[in-house]
Structure 1
Amino acid sequence: MSSRLWHLGNVLVDLVLEVPALPERGSDVLATRTEHTPGGGFNVMAAAARQGLPVTYAGAHGTGPFGDRARAALHAEGIDVLLAPRPEPDTGFVVCLIDADGERTFVTSPGAEATLAAADLVELRPQAGDLVYVTGYGLLYDSNRAALLDLLPRLDPTVTLVTDPGPLAAEIPEIALELLLARSDWWSCNAREAALLTDVADPAEAARALASRLGRGSALVRTGPDGCLVHDGERLVAVPGFAVDAIDLNGAGDAHTGVFMAALAQGLDPVAAARRANAGAALAVTAPGPATAPDAARLDAFLD
């Protein structure tokens, strides 16, 4: 595969705790399982890399045990790291609570990944056919947002920009949101995030509303087990999901996005790429952990 994915999001370390239920305010609960694992943008990159797409992490990372853990995981997946570690602080972490229904609740403590600067990306020149991925989390930090918006005008028109606004979509500053809507080739989000951005509850209508705001791109709205909706600016296509026994929903959206980008890089049309992404997300939720996207061989076998 000649294309490359340049990931401009944030890699953190997830401190995962499985609990019977979320504790009430001021109370306590015993976790039934705990795990320390790289998360955030790592999940998207791992999903894409396992499909054979070359990946470079172009975000910031720190010095300390969390930074070491994140870099080791990136190297294990064959993901290149563009920048040297920040001398301080360490990479940040996320406390992820997973309840008995598989739903996840996050609390994030930012670290070095929130210190990306324009100077870090001044030599970044993605080639024609490459993909650049931006996430809403990065847009919440002043330094990261300035660096990402500085990069946008330098992107070659043949570079595919994929934006995932993330759960905090409503907190993205309006000027950044509009600039990304104008340049993005794909706007990928879940139904909740689409509703936050459009004030439209129905996912199909929200997808249409998002597509109408995109200057040159298409919208993809994930609808959980039902699959996703793809709007290419002219038509809306519902791409059905796959029925599986879900164990852990953590990372399902990341798996979907990573597989979708790899499928686009392989030359699949958007609907076929979305179907493959639906299958990747379905397989990802059948195992515990955030970075459980399948490799290409397992995904091919599932689809066959």
Structure 2
Amino acid sequence: MIECVIFGGLLLDKYLELEELPERGQDGFINNEFECVGGCSVNMAATFNNLGGQAHIVSYIGKDKIGQSIIKYMNEHQLSTRYVMQKEGTTGYCIVLLEADGERTFLTKTGMELDFSKEILSDGLKDIKYAAVTGYFLLNDEVEEIMQVLEDFHKRGGFILFDPSPLVGSINQDILMRMVYISNVVTPNSSEFEEIKEWVDDEKIVILKRGGHGGTVYEKNCTFDYMPIKVNVIDTTGAGDSFAAGVLFGLAEGRSLQDSVRLGSQTSAITVGINGPHGFWNIEDILKK
């Protein structure tokens, strides 16, 4: 079984479904509300597992009610808790304002997910060769310790995919430079790419995402475009996470870069067609597309 480790925090997503966001200072109505376990890490992990792999999330969570519900959810869905640790404190949550056309706006109250210590990696990532890192996790107060772990992983020959995230501009510049340097693949959108482009060299695989317009892949001596798979969009939350996990799994499985990007497009298409940031399906769903 292909394994990977995902550096990204766990929290609770609190969805508010709206027809559309009201203008600032104006009123609106909530059509529906629901909650689910969220965070880029669990979205990636669910997709990686759906494809037949085993993803291990690295995250602290609190011993509060939300933290307990996250552990229960992960156990119910066979999501690994090898590198998930509870301790005293509050688990974070994210309010997701979901509009009828699938667009979403996030407001996050951070908690234990933005904490880290090497003790959480009980076996030192033994026998794991692939990693995904979310930009959000590099806003951690213990980011230097995180980077030491990742740089050691890189020196041992580990393969790293880095997904910068919309808050990439808030990451310390030295940390960001080091992160890009050790990454094999980076998956920014157009605005995120502007924050990292000065450190990208020809040795990096860059997958420049353009949402509903597909994107462009840059590899040494090779550039190609990819198109999205057209589906009925219900909720775009987690689409980028699912794409990244699909690409990482494909490359870990030994597929070509083109086939891995195609797989990422397929997993992303499944994700935007369901309500919530991730779902549970199997490889047969991919083969039908």
Q: Secondary structure at 1:60's aligned position in 2?
A: strand
Question: What does 1:193-232 correspond to in 2, within 5 Å?
Answer: 193-195=192-194, 197=195, 209=197, 213-214=200-201, 216-232=203-219
Contact 2:58 2:84 in 1 (8 A): no
Report the CA distance between 1:84 and its aligned residue.
5.7
Report the CA distance between 1:272 and its aligned residue.
0.5
- 1:171-217 Cα distance to aligned partner (Å, 9 max, x none): 1110111101110011112233224x15xxxxxxxxxx47x624843
Q: Secondary structure at 1:81's aligned position in 2?
A: coil
Q: Distance in 1 between matches of 2:9 and 2:266?
A: 25
Report the CA distance between 1:117 and its aligned residue.
1.9
Q: Secondary structure at 1:6's aligned position in 2?
A: strand
1:203 is aligned to: none
Report the CA distance between 1:222 and its aligned residue.
1.7
Contact 1:280 1:294 in 2 (8 A): no
RMSD: 2.0
| Cα distance change on mapping 1:249 and 1:48 into 2, 3 Å | same
1:169 is aligned to: 168
The answer for unaligned runs of 5 or more in structure 1 is: 199-208
Total equivalences in the alignment = 287
Q: Distance in 2 between matches of 1:184 and 1:54?
A: 21
| Cα distance change on mapping 1:83 and 1:242 into 2, 3 Å | closer
2:243 is aligned to: 256
Q: 1:152 aligns with which of 118, 128, 150?
A: 150
Contact 1:183 1:216 in 2 (8 A): no
Q: Distance in 2 between matches of 1:17 and 1:47?
A: 24
| Cα distance change on mapping 1:214 and 1:85 into 2, 3 Å | same
The answer for unaligned runs of 5 or more in structure 2 is: none
- 1:143-195 Cα distance to aligned partner (Å, 9 max, x none): 2x122112123114421111111110111110111101110011112233224
* TM-score (norm: length of structure 2): 0.92
**Which amino acid in the other structure matches residue 33 of structure 2?**
T
**Which amino acid in the other structure matches residue 53 of structure 2?**
L
Q: Distance in 1 between matches of 2:171 and 2:244?
A: 20
**Which amino acid in the other structure matches residue 70 of structure 1?**
I
215-224 or 157-166: which moved more?
215-224
Matched, 1:247 2:246: no
Contact 1:8 1:135 in 2 (8 A): yes
**Which amino acid in the other structure matches residue 112 of structure 2?**
A
1:56 is aligned to: 56
Q: Distance in 1 between matches of 2:9 and 2:84?
A: 15
- 1:10-60 Cα distance to aligned partner (Å, 9 max, x none): 111100111122233344422111110011121111011110111112221
* TM-score (norm: length of structure 1): 0.87
2:19 is aligned to: 20
Q: Secondary structure at 2:60's aligned position in 1?
A: coil
2:7 is aligned to: 8
Question: What does 1:82-231 correspond to in 2, within 5 Å?
Answer: 82-83=82-83, 85-121=85-121, 123-127=123-127, 130-143=129-142, 145-155=143-153, 156-195=155-194, 197=195, 209=197, 213-214=200-201, 216-231=203-218
**Overall identity of the aligned pairs, in %:** 24
Contact 1:121 1:151 in 2 (8 A): no
Q: Distance in 2 between matches of 1:242 and 1:183?
A: 31
Q: Secondary structure at 1:219's aligned position in 2?
A: strand
Q: Distance in 2 between matches of 1:246 and 1:125?
A: 37
| Cα distance change on mapping 1:224 and 1:266 into 2, 3 Å | same
Q: Secondary structure at 2:62's aligned position in 1?
A: coil
Report the CA distance between 1:284 and its aligned residue.
1.5
**Which amino acid in the other structure matches residue 42 of structure 1?**
V
